[in-house]
Amino acid sequence: MQARKVKISGVNTYKLPVLSSARMKELFLKMQAGDKNARRELINGNLRLVLSVLQRFKNRGENLDDLFQVGCIGLMKAVDNFSLEHNVHFSTYAVPMIIGEIKRHLRDNNAVRVSRSLKLLAQKAQQVREELTRKLLREPTIQEIALQLKVPAEEVIFAYQAINEPVSLHDPVFNDSTDPVYVMDVVSDPKNNTELWVEDIALHQSLAILSERERQILEARFFEGRTQTEIAAAIGISQAQVSRIEKAALRRIRHHLAEEGGGTDANN
């Protein structure tokens, strides 16, 4: 039987290694002691993080080989700057850096022309954002970034907005172990009041089958736009527990809606 091969930039993604947490810690300690082979193994052992990030950009018409190479640069920066003292998983630290590197590449190669001053301000803001993220171990606010740059917060916002690449209708806005939800799935006609009314009833009926904690987490995630880490801190559990509860609640809702839909089809 022929082995499966999915190659990006000459790399057989099917055979990429996976490192255990214990091995990761051991390699970082070796790398800090000057072991270059440990650095190489850390990079090769985390290439799957780059692949996972590429899923967010796969429908933009960009060359995936190019984006993979750019993402690898972000991964190498993450490996070089990560410290075990951060007390976070390496993936939690690395993924935002990989995304940032790819977005920076897309901005620099965007066909829409942005003034040099705005581009420079946005680049400085991004550098300050990465520095503050490493220092604070959280996402800095616009006000904190503006304070470091000594400019009004409005200018930072305007600079970010000016260099944002257009969003594709095929971009995923939510993705778990099952089917992704794309932008086109959540864009609707605000004039279609009947459709919204029916969806609102279905949503409230689905939420009613959940426990109080499940409803609390889903409402915070999808109606208030809060992160899993923020929710975990607010209700006093770990981020991993929030993730498990969220996925279980979404599965229950999907199952409930499938049963409701199946009953309707049967009657037709």
Extents of the domains making up the chain: 1-110, 111-164, 188-267
pLDDT digits (tens, 9 = 90+) for 42-61: 998 898 888 888 888 776 66
Per the CB < 8 A criterion, the answer to whether 53 and 98 are in contact is yes
| Gyration radius of the chain's alpha carbons | 22
CA dihedral 65, 68, 73, 77 (to 10 degrees): -170
Helix axes 36-44, 21-32, angle to 10 degrees: 150
Q: State CA 125 to chain mean position distance.
A: 20
Nearest-angstrom CA–CA distance, 261 and 202: 11
Lowest mean pLDDT among 119-123, 144-148, 213-217: 119-123
Lowest mean pLDDT among 54-63, 152-161, 166-175: 166-175
Question: Using 50, 70 and 90 to split pLDDT, how confident is the model at 261?
Answer: low
Q: Classify domain 188-267 at the CATH topology level.
A: Arc Repressor Mutant, subunit A (1.10.10)
CATH code reported for the domain at 111-164: 1.10.10.10
Helix axes 239-267, 193-208, angle to 10 degrees: 120
> Can 1-110 and 111-164 be said to share one CATH topology?
no
Is the confidence at residue 177, as pLDDT, over 50? no
Q: What is the mean pLDDT of residues 89-113?
A: 80
Lowest mean pLDDT among 73-87, 150-164, 188-202: 188-202
Locate 183 and state its tokens. Answer: 């932008």
Residue 54 confidence (pLDDT): 85
CA dihedral 87, 33, 81, 52 (to 10 degrees): -80
Of the two residues 110 and 245, the one the predictor is more confident about is 245
Residue 200 confidence (pLDDT): 53
Nearest-angstrom CA–CA distance, 128 and 134: 10
The candidate with the shortest Cα–Cα distance to 172, out of 163, 164, 162, 182, is: 182
Q: Classify domain 1-110 at the CATH topology level.
A: Four Helix Bundle (Hemerythrin (Met), subunit A) (1.20.120)
Nearest-angstrom CA–CA distance, 233 and 255: 29
Of the two residues 26 and 178, the one the predictor is more confident about is 26
